[in-house]
Amino acid sequence: MKNNKQENAWELYEGAIKNTDKISPTYINLNNPKYIEIDETYYSGFIINNYNREYEELILKNLINSNLNINISIFYDKRDTQKTIKELTYHIGNVNVELNEKNKNNQDIDLVDFSYNDAKYIRKQMQVENENLYFLYIYINVFEKSISELETQINKLENILQASGLQSKKAYFRQEQTFLSCLPIMENNIDIKNVAKRNILSSGLVSTYPFISSSVFDKEGIYLGTNIYNESLIFVDRYNSEKYKNANICIFGTSGAGKSFFTKLLILRSRLFGIEQYVIDPEREYINICNELKGTLIKIGPTSNNFINIMDIRKESIEDDNKGYLATKITKLIGFFNLIFGELNEEEKSILEEKIIECYKEKNITFDDNSLYKIKNKKRIFKENEDMPILMDLYKILEKDEKTKIFKIKLMPFVKGSLNFFNHKTNIELNSELIVADIYELGEENLKYGLFIFVELFWDKVKRDRNIKKAIYLDEIWRLIGVTSNKEVASFIYKIFKTIRKYGGSSVAITQDVSDLFSLEKGIYGKSIINNSSIKLFFSLEEENIKTLSEYSDLTEKEKIEIKSLKRGECLMFVGDNHILAKIEPADFEKKIIIGDK
């Protein structure tokens, strides 16, 4: 049985409420000439009534990049060109007469002269340059939840306007009209438009362009942080080759500034996009996130059962169209043995290269690329890990020659001593989308060897498929391009940063030892890596490190001060041409994944 009374009441209710009532405020208080109160929010209006004669940048830039709660409305009213030229000609004639009169005082003559020259200039631009004349109107509404907060924001607004060369009037007794003009209803209220009206040529309209926030919002981007000034979100697609020269990133910061946390956050968010990621972890900081994301953890050290053979030649080590597997490998090995034997002169390099060639020849591997293939199960395949020499094979060759005995002695710890875990055939397969290389057990002195081995391994994996997005994270990169390294290794790292883009890859350099980054060859490798990184993040740094960085990057005096005073989790981002002060803000579940249940 229907309840007719309820049904009739509902029909009456629906008929009594219009759609406009549903979006209308509960109340509007217009009693105060200084502000409007609407549903416990206070609005105060401003009218821009004058501008500087010339601007070198966008006039609203400082205002829009502020964190004020404001609404801005801009109106452009195009004037009839022929009518305007006619009026200007008439005005110029009248003013010319006034200038010729003798009974005007000097001040009046100056004012009239300004008006005369401006009118001639506008007419010339319209007639010769085909520009149009517009009337410009700009209104601002600032709003807050309390009167005291509103007054504070008004003072900030006036300071910004004054610094930007904008003269304004408070819209006393015209708050309602200014409020309506700032709504998206295209109403330029007649009660206030005469106050705001100013002439502007079409070339000058560029300076009023309002969409100039320094934040970045790439369509396919990963959320990196929040703009500190205007709280806008920063989304960056580092693989966007049309917008960025490369996908490389440099991350600088002192211990505890937030660089490692940001790196883990970047790894986590990149995983959601299916990006293959390879992380070299010298400080055992990435184990938790590796486990949480079901990645592959590789430990190399005295207690590890994982082995990677530095002598391996992989099919991916050169591009498909190129030749010279052994020649390419020898170049890398010379760099690696430089780390062990110290800086080699040209004669020593030649002798060592001869022994390396002999070592591979014993395994039937020569400069003929066909020697890298074998027949298995009636199929021609690339030689496997078991077919490659190991350090012991080279060691035996070195001890046969008096000229290379010093090399044999220095290689002994890697063959028969505490570092003999380098003297094994590779026994791991790497097919995960996230691989973390834990080299913590190598100790301070031996980290560089582990860094090099994994960099070479990951670099070969990066080159395997150009259509897959991937990234290599090089923590403590200064060890490979600083004074403790050598030119061959540093050149190899630089090559990765320079060429990884064409393989769909991104190199991420992370360091807190800024001065060491520029300690080899007068900093040319550190500088090259910075210059080949489209994205740079500067977390809090000591003054000495800031001074070093300023020599190799485009830091302004203001930005140097900002970097020094950054709080934990804040950074200065260089994203392409944009320089943004940003705050890194993870969600609670992201924190849990990164740091566990601590």
Report pLDDT digits (tens) over 222-243. Answer: 999 998 877 889 999 999 999 9
Q: How far apart are CA 581 and CA 573, in angstroms?
A: 6
* Mean pLDDT over each residue of the chain, to the nearest integer: 90
Check pLDDT > 50 for residue 1: no
Q: Which residue has the higher pLDDT, 55 or 536?
A: 536
Would you list the DSSP string of 344-401?
A: --HHHHHHHHHHHHHHHHTTT--SSGGGGEEEETTEEEE--GGGS--HHHHHHHHTT-
- Beta-strand pair 296-299/133-144: unpaired
Burial 63-101 (b: 16+ CB within 10 A, else e): bbbbebbbbbbbbeeeeeeeebbeebeebbeebeeeeee
Q: Residue 168 pairs with which residues in a beta bridge?
A: 48
* Over residues 11-37, mean pLDDT: 81
Check pLDDT > 90 for residue 398: yes
* Over residues 97-104, mean pLDDT: 62
Q: How far apart are CA 281 and CA 296, in angstroms?
A: 13
Return the domain boundaries, the chain. 24-76+135-212, 80-131, 241-306+428-598, 309-426
pLDDT > 90: percent of the chain: 70
Other beta carbons within 10 Å of 229: 18
Q: What is the CATH number of domain 309-426?
A: 1.10.8.730
Strands of the sheet with 249-252, listed across from one edge? 233-236, 222-227, 578-583, 570-575, 535-538, 249-252, 505-511, 470-475, 276-281, 434-438, 296-299
Task: Using pLDDT thresholds of 50, 70 and 90, give the confidence band for residue 16.
Answer: low
Would you list the DSSP string of 103-172?
A: S--HHHHHHHHHHHHHHHHHHHHHHHS---EEEEEEEEEEEESSHHHHHHHHHHHHHHHHHTTEEEEE-T
**pLDDT value of residue 439:** 94
**pLDDT value of residue 3:** 55
**pLDDT value of residue 56:** 74
- State the CATH class of domain 241-306+428-598: alpha beta
- Beta-strand pair 276-281/249-252: unpaired
Lowest mean pLDDT among 57-61, 69-73, 179-183, 241-245: 57-61
* Over residues 288-301, mean pLDDT: 93
Is CATH 3.30.70 the classification given to domain 24-76+135-212? yes
Q: How far apart are CA 514 and CA 522, in angstroms?
A: 13
Task: Using pLDDT thresholds of 50, 70 and 90, give the confidence band for residue 444.
Answer: confident
Would you list the DSSP string of 266-316?
A: HHHHHHTTT-EEEEEESSS-SHHHHHHTT-EEEE-STT------TT---GG
* Common-topology check for domains 24-76+135-212 and 241-306+428-598: no
Cα dihedral value 525, 526, 531, 533, nearest 10 = 110
